[in-house]
Amino acid sequence: MSSSGIIITAILIGISIYDFNILKKSKLKITKCVSSALITLVFNLVLLGIGALIGSAIFGSNNDYWIIISLILISGISYFRFKGREISKGKIKTEKSKKKKLSPKEQQVEAIKTAAGFGFFVVVVTTLLLFYLKTDNSADYYFRFLDPVLIGLFALWAYKKLSFWGSLLMTTMFIIGKLFMIIPLYASGGSGSSGIGMTVVISYFMIKGVIAAYKYNHSK
C-alpha cells in the first residue's frame, strides 16, 4: 500500500474509533457504538469518493491532490456531524432532530451561510490549483490569487453580516471567473463536463444564497 493509502486508511479508521469512544463514554450500548462507527466509516468512504471525483475534475487523474480535497470534506463534515448531536437517555439525537421548524428568516440565514460555505470551499480549491499550476514567479501568476482572495473576503462578509452585497459579489466573481475558464476550454475542443457540473452545483447554491440575502435584508 502506498503512503497516501496508509494515511487515508489511518484517518478513516481513526475517525470511526473516535466516534466509537465518545459514544462508549456516554454509556451507550456497545452495539450502538459499533453500528455508529461503521456508519461513520461508510459515510466517510462516500465522501472520499466525492473528493476523488472533484479532485480529478480539477487537477486531473495523474496526481494525489484529490486526497487534500477528500480530507477537507471528511474532516469538515465529521466535525459538524459530531458537534451537531447529543446523547440523551441512551439515544443519539442529531441537530436535525433537535431543531424545530425553521422560520422564513432562519431559512434565509441558513441559505446565506451555506452559500458562503461554498465560497470558502472555492477559495481553498482555487488556491491549491494555483499552487499546482505554478510555472514561474511572475507578477501575472501572483495576480491570479486576487480572485480567491476577493471571493474569500466576500464570503466572509456574507457569512458574518448576512450581506446581500457580499453574497452578490461573491457569486458574480465566481460565475464570471468560471466562464473565463470554461469558454476557452470548450472552444479548444475540450469537454470539461465534470468541472462544468461542479460549477453548476456551486452556482445554484450561491444564487440561492443571493436571493435569500436579498429577502433577509429587504423584506419587512
Q: For the full predicted model, state whether its pTM sits above 0.75.
A: no
- 174/91 same-domain check: no
State residue 95's pLDDT score.
53
Phi and psi at 137, nearest 5°, equal: -110, 30
pLDDT of amino acid 151: 93
pLDDT at residue 187, as a whole number: 47
Place of cell 471528511: 74
In total, how many domains does the chain have?
2
Comparing C-alpha atoms, which of 43, 42, 32, 34 is closest to residue 93?
32
Residues 88 and 36 grouped into a single domain: yes
The pLDDT of residue 124: 80
pLDDT per residue as tens digits for the range 96-134? 544 567 788 989 999 999 999 989 888 887 787 777 667
Q: Which domain holds residue 122?
A: 104-218
Checking if the pLDDT of 61 tops 90, the result is no
91 and 109 both lie in a single domain: no
- 213 and 110 co-located in one domain: yes
Listed residues 73, 95, 117: the one ending a domain: 95
Residues 20 and 85 in one domain: yes
Does 111 share its domain with 77? no
- Pair 113, 213 in one domain: yes
> Residue 88 in 3-state DSSP?
strand
Same domain, 131 and 70: no
C-alpha grid cell, residue 59? 487537477
Whether 110 and 199 share a structural domain: yes
Check whether 139 has a pLDDT greater than 60: yes
- 77, 117: one domain: no
Q: Quick one: what percent of the chain has pLDDT higher than 70?
A: 75
Which tens digit of pLDDT belongs to each residue from 159-188?
999 999 999 999 999 988 877 655 444 444
The residue whose grid cell reads 452578490 is: 168
Both 162 and 79 in a single domain?
Answer: no
Among 47, 69, 95, the domain-final residue is 95
Specify the pLDDT at position 170.
95
